[in-house]
A and B are shown apart, each in its own frame.
Chain A
Amino acid sequence: MTKLDSKIPEGPVAEKWTKHKFNLKLVNPANKRKYDIIVVGTGLAGASAAATLAELGYNVKAFCFQDSPRRAHSIAAQGGINAAKNYQNDGDSIFRLFYDTVKGGDYRAREGNVYRLAEVSVNIIDQCVAQGVPFAREYGGLLDNRSFGGAQVSRTFYARGQTGQQLLLGAYSALSRQIGLGKVKMYSRTEMLDLVMIDGAAKGIVTRDLVTGEIASHAGHAVLLCTGGYGNVFYLSTNAQGSNVTAAWRAHKKGAFFANPCFTQIHPTCIPVSGDHQSKLTLMSESLRNDGRVWVPKKVGDKRNPSEIPEDERDYFLERKYPSFGNLVPRDVASRNAKEQCDANKGVGSSGLAVYLDFADAIKRLGENSVRAKYGNLFDMYAQITGENPYKSPMRIYPAVHYTMGGLWVDYNLMTTIPGLYALGEANFSDHGANRLGASALMQGLADGYFVIPYTVGDYLAGLGTKPVDKNHPAFKEAEDKVKALTKKFLSIKGTKSVTHYHRELGRIMWDYCGMARNAEGLTKAKGLIKDLKEDFWKNVKVLGEGEELNQSLEKAGRVADFIELGALMVEDALNRNESCGGHFREEYQTEENEAKRDDENYAYVAAWEFKGEDKAEELHKENLKFETVKLTQRSYK
């Protein structure tokens, strides 16, 4: 068994990053232009990395599958970004953000990584403001903050309900500047379909031009995967339609370990499913829980209109069970409690799969205009989708798949188990443990791209020498041929069922057996179901059209094929982890009060899976987590 070396520096947690930065090798400024770096993805992680590396002098090639780098899924983030600025003077500090994040992640994240994240969080806000990101401000002209779940301080910076958009446009503008200067070559509508390896190290990628269908390869001294999360394995999620695991999965099959795949976040406040036609779920930002109160009728099966249910017949279950955090408990706790109420037949709406999120008190207290100023676009979005007015009657919400804490295993330098291959942002597993706190993904994406990778990648490159990568190496042609063969295969099956059919089926299996609550029996069943689905897919999938043209069914076929394999690994991982922690709730392991029951003795490790060949069982590697600063306790938000 290979030993996973996390490369966390020795010494006190607060000094690790400073010390590490000093010890990293540097590439001298004149040599930087001799290195080519490939950045796949232009979300917060990718755009910030590509821009910063180009500013430093490296040659960057950046890729995204949308028609413009500005459309990466980060654009959809609503609520905000955390930073330990303590502008509110309410007791925040780097240490507190670190502590909250480790605790919120239910003690399944690395202390060293999380501390660094909290440390650089303060620089992120400075950087964004300098780029012209219009964060919300107070009348005195200084920056405003709000609170998010799992914290008792106000440390979340925001731009109305469009924080992700504004941050991404900031990073996109920095990227655009480098494209204009010729330091970044941008490839939009181009999808990475394989990794090229030479002598065990990452040296390039194979891509498909989504307009012409041309398969080509690109060489680089290092490859950065900033390709986002894999929530769409559930078919229905809050992710964008194109979000996928393909880049990460194909790298996994080339040797990059996949860590904690079963750690998924189910977000408590999403608009409930309305019918079979549903193609995606829409999030209602967590920031709403600052002012919205979650409740269900006390009586089972109470179908009265919410306005007819008197105060004393309502159960504000989060406030009742968790008086000190109330509606602002972490996401996993809020989601599970909503499910619990619905399972007890107290759910509302026609499906019974919803709880109320009520703003009546906030509107009474602050006035409708103040509520509109804070959340206007979210309320509009709700009204648009449901046809109901949330200023007049409470919103109906239900949990939905939102974020994936799992991802490619990386060390402290963000390098995967493949030398020269890095993973940044949601694509890696590193900072959120078993549950991510709200407003921390934006922070992590930008931390990785602006402030971590620019230091750590140099250390690797400095050791390589400046020789260009040999584009004539047979590895490039081999990888290209493999991709071409796969395209041909999809088009030649000519089966009877559409790609979407398989995606939807997979989603159903994952949601039913590997969703908000899991148990050994269900997971074992899911294993069989996924195996059958995979077999059926490769026999009966129907992909029309040609390879040498824009072909959206073909794009999707590749993504769904990878999701099916990933789904199998997620189930395996969930089955292996005989404990409950954060978003991973195994019904067999719960406290008397139905809270997640961890098993620190046996499971305080990162599960990193190694691909061993098609249809072979993956091998589990364990990275034991050391807690030197934070004491492991049962999480309590009471």
Chain B
Amino acid sequence: MNLTVKVWRQKNSKSEGKMVSYNVKDVSPDMSFLEMFDVLNEDLISKGDEPIAFDHDCREGICGMCSMYINGRAHGPKTGITTCQLHMRSFKDGDTIVVEPWRASAFPVVKDLVVDRGAFDRIINAGGFVSVNTGGVPDANAIPISKIDADAAFDAATCIGCGACVASCKNASASLFVAAKITQLALLPQGQVERAARVEKMVAQMEAEGFGACTNTGACSVECPKEISQDTIATMNREYYAAKASSKNV
């Protein structure tokens, strides 16, 4: 099939960007969306035009690197998958596809479709962990954990840190990302000791990074490729108020 692809081109974080239109020919339905971009880029290179910069690595939906805003939706028209898992069989001959980077002031554009998601790392650095050093920990089976809790913790832990939740949210809130980590560790016995301090520190960092407030519109969870539940945000809020009430912490 033949397609028209309109792509955001921006030389660097300081310059202005604009949409540029390209024709892509002979696209096979078995191609992944990023493979379609590979074809487009090879074509640009052959014409002496600079290829489009975009983030990607694993190309199987797990590293969280790919991040395209396709036809007004983070990771494209299908739910539960990342951009790299989207295949061209989801489009048809003659379609026009509009591709933009994640838009959020906390995620500045670096070049073309590449954005800086360093804010996510800094939120984790602030408290998204259990403070144990290597060595001297108890036997793995010393503390039984109910399968239900372990499975729920796992579901929250599957977040890939892609940022689609932020890109989809009209407030550019990072709540779903933060709540996923808080929920995971709040469900596990290992996370209990620092439970209150963790939520306070992570929420404080989230606010410092300039993400917007959550108004419960739920777009984040709908567009999340790992289908992280919106319930985690309720958990985070509960954890946060409990921590504040206990006032033992920062």
A residues lining the B interface (CB < 8 Å) = 48, 51-52, 55, 66-71, 73, 75-76, 85, 87, 123, 125-132, 134-143, 159-160, 162, 164-166, 169, 172-174, 176-177, 179-180, 186, 188, 211, 240-242, 274-275, 277-280, 282, 380-381, 384-385, 387, 450-451, 454, 498, 500, 542, 544-545, 549-550, 552-553
Q: Are B118 and A188 in contact (CB under 8 A)?
A: yes
Query: Which B residues lie within 8 Å of A454 (CB)?
Result: 134
Closest Cβ of chain A to B104, distance in Å, is: 15
B215 within 8 A of A: no
Q: Are B28 and A277 in contact (CB under 8 A)?
A: yes
Q: Are A68 and B161 in contact (CB under 8 A)?
A: yes
User: Which of A135, A141, A166, A278 is within 8 Å of B146, CB to CB?
Assistant: A141
Closest Cβ of chain B to A445, distance in Å, is: 14
B49 closest partner in A (C-beta): A544
CA distance A134 to B50 in the complex (A): 44
With A134-B184, A136-B150, A177-B131 as known contacts, state yes or no: A553 contacts B45, CB within 8 Å: yes
B114 within 8 A of A: yes
CA distance A66 to B121 in the complex (A): 12
CA distance A179 to B126 in the complex (A): 9
CA distance A398 to B180 in the complex (A): 36
With A160-B154, A177-B131 as known contacts, state yes or no: A75 contacts B87, CB within 8 Å: no
> 10 interchain pairs (CB within 8 A)?
A71-B58, A127-B134, A127-B137, A138-B147, A180-B125, A180-B127, A384-B87, A387-B30, A498-B42, A544-B45
Q: Are B65 and A67 in contact (CB under 8 A)?
A: yes
User: Which of B138, B160, B188 is within 8 Å of A126, CB to CB?
Assistant: B138
B219 within 8 A of A: no
Q: Are A282 and B12 in contact (CB under 8 A)?
A: no
Query: Which A residues lie within 8 Å of B34 (CB)?
Result: 279
Q: Are B140 and A126 in contact (CB under 8 A)?
A: yes
Closest Cβ of chain B to A352, distance in Å, is: 17
CA distance A85 to B139 in the complex (A): 10
Q: Are A140 and B134 in contact (CB under 8 A)?
A: no
Closest 9 CB pairs of A and B: A141-B144, A173-B129, A130-B137, A180-B125, A134-B154, A129-B140, A240-B57, A52-B134, A134-B153
User: Which of B59, B87, B89, B141 is within 8 Å of A142, CB to CB?
Assistant: B141
With A71-B57, A166-B157, A544-B48 as known contacts, state yes or no: A451 contacts B134, CB within 8 Å: yes
Q: Are B111 and A550 in contact (CB under 8 A)?
A: yes
Q: Are B64 and A71 in contact (CB under 8 A)?
A: yes
B73 within 8 A of A: no
Query: Which B residues lie within 8 Å of A165 (CB)?
Result: 62, 158, 160
User: Which of A132, A138, A143 is within 8 Å of B184, CB to CB?
Assistant: A132
Q: Are B58 and A240 in contact (CB under 8 A)?
A: yes
Q: Are A132 and B190 in contact (CB under 8 A)?
A: yes
Query: Which B residues lie within 8 Å of A55 (CB)?
Result: 133-134
Q: Are A131 and B130 in contact (CB under 8 A)?
A: yes
B56 within 8 A of A: yes
Q: Are A275 and B31 in contact (CB under 8 A)?
A: yes
Q: Are A132 and B137 in contact (CB under 8 A)?
A: no
Q: Are B63 and A176 in contact (CB under 8 A)?
A: no
Q: Are B147 and A75 in contact (CB under 8 A)?
A: no
Q: Are A75 and B63 in contact (CB under 8 A)?
A: yes
B209 within 8 A of A: no
Q: Are A280 and B51 in contact (CB under 8 A)?
A: no
CA distance A70 to B28 in the complex (A): 32
Closest Cβ of chain A to B77, distance in Å, is: 14
Query: Which A residues lie within 8 Å of B146 (CB)?
Result: 137, 141
B80 closest partner in A (C-beta): A380
With A68-B161, A76-B63, A279-B32 as known contacts, state yes or no: A174 contacts B134, CB within 8 Å: yes
Q: Are A85 and B140 in contact (CB under 8 A)?
A: yes
CA distance A456 to B175 in the complex (A): 42
CA distance A165 to B180 in the complex (A): 15
Closest Cβ of chain A to B226, distance in Å, is: 10
Q: Are B63 and A169 in contact (CB under 8 A)?
A: no
B85 within 8 A of A: yes
Q: Are A176 and B128 in contact (CB under 8 A)?
A: yes
CA distance A638 to B200 in the complex (A): 58
Other A-B pairs beyond A188-B118, A241-B58, 5, CB < 8 Å: A70-B124, A143-B140, A277-B30, A451-B134, A550-B12
